[in-house]
């Protein structure tokens, strides 16, 4: 039996990952909307990967707590 709270968190994380992947394929400057310099792409990708890992850890923690 799946916990609805846990399922909602997992669905939100999956949606966030899809959006993150889309944004990484088409990066734009947050200030001006133009193309992003190559070095900025790597830093943004790094920060997104860190955030993604943090969210996965949170989901795992919630799954463990709820089971």
For the segment 32-58, what is each residue's pLDDT rounded down to a tens digit? 777 766 676 677 888 888 899 999 999
pLDDT band at 15 (very low <50, low <70, confident <90, very high): low
Burial of 64 (0-12, 13-18, 19+ CB in 10 A): exposed
Could you tell me the sign of the dihedral formed by the alpha carbons of 44, 50, 53, 59, in that order?
A: negative
Mark 6-45 as b/e (b = at least 16 C-beta within 10 Å): eeebbeeeeeeeeebeeeeeeeeeeeeeeeeeeeeeeebe
Q: Is 67 helix (H, G, I), strand (E, B) or coil?
A: coil
């Amino acid at each position: 039996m799946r916990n609805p709270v846990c399922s909602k968190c997992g669905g939100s994380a999956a949606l966030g990952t899809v959006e993150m992947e889309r944004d990484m394929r088409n990066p734009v400057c947050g200030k001006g909307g133009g193309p992003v310099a190559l070095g900025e792409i790597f830093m943004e990708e790094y920060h997104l990967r860190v955030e993604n890992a943090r969210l996965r850890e949170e989901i795992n923690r919630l799954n463990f707590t709820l089971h």
